[in-house]
Amino acid sequence: MSDFEAATKKIRLDIVSAIHRAKKGHLGGALSCVDVLYYLYSEGIVDVFENEKTINTFVLSKGHSSLALLAAVNFIKQNKYKDFVDNFNLDGSLSGNNCSELVPGFEFHTGSLGHGLGLGNGVALSKKLNNEKGKTIVLSSDGELHEGSTLEGLLFAQQHDLDVTMIIDNNGQICENFTNKVVSVNKMIDFLETNFNCLVIDGHNYSEIIKIKPFINQSGFKIIISNTIKGKGISFMESNIRWHHSVPNDNEYKLAKEELI
């Protein structure tokens, strides 16, 4: 097992354990973006937010996957933020679905979909105006392509060639169903690929994930479509609508752990 695979398995285990412990949380979307998230942080492409404004800024637009970000940051920081992971969604904790800036790693409070690109645009514009170095990366979802604000952000970022990278965690599912069965975003994905500086990868395949770094190092606005599987890493959760925000029972948790250890 590679170091990358070992790390992402551990992060996935922390995610499932936290949600099993709290009896609430959003599993599927957290598991789909783990590999890309871990890569971004482990390669130092983005900075961990710890109360100081970051040079390479990360905006988690799909805020319901906050546990994935928290677990990845905790892994990178060698358990420095273990309490935030262990107490996720538990009484008295600040960490939970859609973390605020009071929780390490979260420079922006999100949770309402379609806001991240606009926030990222503002950060990148400020860096540009102030001649500050640094990348701005926004992790969005395919469901957020439904939001009109995403189009507004895309057009402005392109017009001003802002140094923003929008990563779309294209896991093919929204809350209630598969995206294509509700309102397909396929034509929008085609539009993005055709009209923007766009990289398409398998968001679970390390040999493709490593293309992210040189791509982000290009200047200007760009898009990464990261094709992923919701619930990735736990076979019975993969591409299963139930696991958007279901909580595993004790037996399911045991089965999940067996796949992740």
Partner 1 sequence: MADLRDLFFEELVQKMKDDKNTILLSVDMGSQIVNQNMDFIKNQYFNVGVSEANAISMAAGLSSRGNEVFVYGISTFIFNRPRAQIRHDSIIGNNPINIIGSGDGLTYPQDGPSHHSVDDFVSLSSLPKSSLIIPFDKESVKKTFEICNEKNLTTFIKLDKGQVLDEQFNYNNGFYFKIKNNKQWVFTTGKESMNYVEDKYKDHSIACLLATSPKNELFFKEYIDHNTKIIVDDETFTYGGLFSYLATIHAITLNNNIVNKTFNNEFIQEKYNRETLRNKYEIK
Q: Which residues are at the interface with partner 1 (CB under 8 A)?
A: 53, 89-96, 100-102, 107-112, 114-127, 129-130, 132, 148-149, 152-153, 155-156, 160
- Residues forming a β-bridge with 225: 168, 200
In angstroms, the CA 29 to CA 63 distance is 10
Judged by beta carbon, residue 123 or residue 234, the one nearer partner 1 is: 123
Provide, rounded to whole angstroms, the least separation between the CB of residue 250 and partner 1. Answer: 21
Judged by beta carbon, residue 130 or residue 194, the one nearer partner 1 is: 130
Judged by beta carbon, residue 95 or residue 226, the one nearer partner 1 is: 95
Strands 136-141 and 198-202: unpaired
Judged by beta carbon, residue 126 or residue 177, the one nearer partner 1 is: 126
Provide, rounded to whole angstroms, the least separation between the CB of residue 164 and partner 1. Answer: 10
Other C-beta atoms closer than 10 Å to the C-beta of 204 total: 18
Judged by beta carbon, residue 95 or residue 179, the one nearer partner 1 is: 95
Residue 42's contacts (CB-CB under 8 Å, 6 or more residues apart) are: 4, 7, 76
Q: Is residue 56 a contact partner of residue 46, using CB atoms and an 8 Å limit?
A: yes
- What b/e sequence results for 145-156 when a residue is b if at least 16 CB atoms lie within 10 Å of its CB, and e otherwise? bbbeebeebbeb
Torsions phi, psi for 169 (to 5 deg)? -80, 90
Q: Is residue 161 a contact partner of residue 125, using CB atoms and an 8 Å limit?
A: no
Provide, rounded to whole angstroms, the least separation between the CB of residue 63 and partner 1. Answer: 9
Judged by beta carbon, residue 122 or residue 220, the one nearer partner 1 is: 122
Provide, rounded to whole angstroms, the least separation between the CB of residue 226 and partner 1. Answer: 22
Provide, rounded to whole angstroms, the least separation between the CB of residue 160 and partner 1. Answer: 8
Structure tokens at 260: 């992740």
Measured at the CA of 206, the angle between CA 62 and CA 37, to 5 degrees, comes to: 25
